[in-house]
Chains A and B, each alone.
Chain A
Amino acid sequence: MLITAANFAAAAPQLRLTRASAPGLVPDALIVGRATCRGTTWLLTETGKLVEVADADWTVTVRSIRGLRSSDNIWGLACLSDGTLWTLSSPGTVARLDRSGEIVERIRVPLPRVALFAAGDRLLFQQLPILPNVAALATSPPRQPATSRAWPGLVGRDAKRREDQIARNLVNCGLPRGLSVPCWFVDDPSFTISDGASVSTVASPTGTPPADRAAPIRDVALTSADRYWLLATSAGGPVPPAGTRLFRGHERSGEQLSLKLAPLARLMLSATESRCLLLTVTGSIMEVVVQP
Chain B
Amino acid sequence: MNTLKQLLRLAPVIAAVVFLLSDATPVAAQARCFETLRDCYSSAAARYSIWDMWLAGLDCELGFVDCTRRAIIGR
How many residues of chain B get a CB closer than 8 Å to chain A's CBs?
Answer: 25
Q: Are B74 and A46 in contact (CB under 8 A)?
A: yes
Q: Decide if A166 touches B26 in the complex (CB within 8 Å).
A: no
Contact A31 B25 (CB under 8 A): no
| Count of A-B contacts judged by CB separation below 8 Å | 81
Report the separation of the CA atoms of residues A98 and B17 in the bound assembly, to the nearest whole angstrom: 49
A112 at the A/B interface (Cβ < 8 Å)?
Answer: yes
**Is A31 a contact of B75 with CB atoms below 8 Å?**
yes
Chain B residues with CB under 8 A of A73:
66
A167 with B68: in contact, given A239-B29, A240-B74 (CB under 8 Å)?
A: yes
User: Does B25 contact A163, Cβ atoms closer than 8 Å?
Assistant: no
A115 at the interface (CB under 8 A from B): yes
Classify the secondary structure of B's interface with A: helix
- Give which listed residue, A32, A170, A212, contacts B26 with CB less than 8 A: A212
Q: Are A215 and B75 in contact (CB under 8 A)?
A: no
Q: Which residues of A contact B58 (CB under 8 A)?
A: 112, 128
Please determine whether A34 and B75 come into contact, CB atoms closer than 8 angstroms: yes
Contact A166 B72, beta carbon cutoff 8 Å: no
Minimum C-beta distance from B31 to chain A (A): 10
Judging by beta carbons under 8 Å apart, are B27 and A214 in contact?
Answer: yes
B75 cross-chain contacts in A, Cβ below 8 A: 30-31, 34, 218-219, 240, 242, 266-267, 279
Closest B-chain residue to A90, C-beta based?
B62
Measuring CB to CB, which residues of chain B are less than 8 angstroms from any residue of chain A?
24-30, 33-34, 37-38, 58, 61-62, 64-66, 68-75
Q: Could you show 7 A-B contacts with beta carbons less than 8 Å apart?
A: A46-B74, A112-B58, A128-B58, A167-B34, A167-B64, A167-B68, A214-B72
